[in-house]
Amino acid sequence: MPRALLAALLLTIAVSAAAADAAISVEIAAGKAKNIRLRSLPGGATMAVRITTTRRVLVALVAERDLRTPQPGSLPLFRGVVERRLAFRVTIPESGNYFLVLSNRGGAEPLEVQAEIRALTRPKPAPRPEERADLLRPAGKREQIAQMVVDA
On average, the pLDDT of the chain sits at 76
Q: What is the CATH number of the domain that holds 84?
A: 2.60.120.680
pLDDT score, position 20: 67
- For CA atoms 17, 42, 96, 74, give the dihedral sign: negative
Domain-located, residue 131: no
**Which of 17-21, 40-44, 68-72, 105-109 has the lowest average pLDDT?**
17-21
* Confidence class for position 126, pLDDT limits 50, 70, 90: low
Instruction: Give the residue numbers spanning the domain of 77.
Output: 3-123+139-151
Within 8 A by CB and 6+ apart from 76, the residues are 60, 61, 62, 66, 101
Residue 67 lies inside a defined structural domain of this protein: yes
- Asked if residue 57 is part of any domain, the answer here is yes
CB 11 within 8 A of CB 146: yes
pLDDT of amino acid 80: 95
Does residue 77 lie within any of the structural domains?
yes
16 found inside a domain: yes
pLDDT at 14 over 90: no
Question: How many structural domains does the chain have?
Answer: 1
Are 82 and 28 a contacting pair, CB within 8 Å?
Answer: no
3-state secondary structure the chain: CCHHHHCEEEEECCCCCCCEEEEEEEEECCCCEEEEEEEEECCCCEEEEEEEECCCEEEEEEEHHHHHCCCCCCCCCEEEEECCEEEEEEECCCCEEEEEEEECCCCCCCEEEEEEEEECCCCCCCCCCCCCCCCCCCCCCCCCEEEEEEEC
Examine residue 134 and state whether it is found in any structural domain, yes or no: no
Assess if residue 130 is contained within a domain.
no
Q: Is residue 85 part of a domain?
A: yes
If you average pLDDT over residues 73-89, what whole number do you get? 93
- What's the pLDDT at 7? 33
Q: What mean pLDDT is predicted for residues 87-105? A: 94
Q: What average pLDDT does the segment 44-60 reach?
A: 94
Whether the predicted pLDDT of 148 surpasses 80:
no
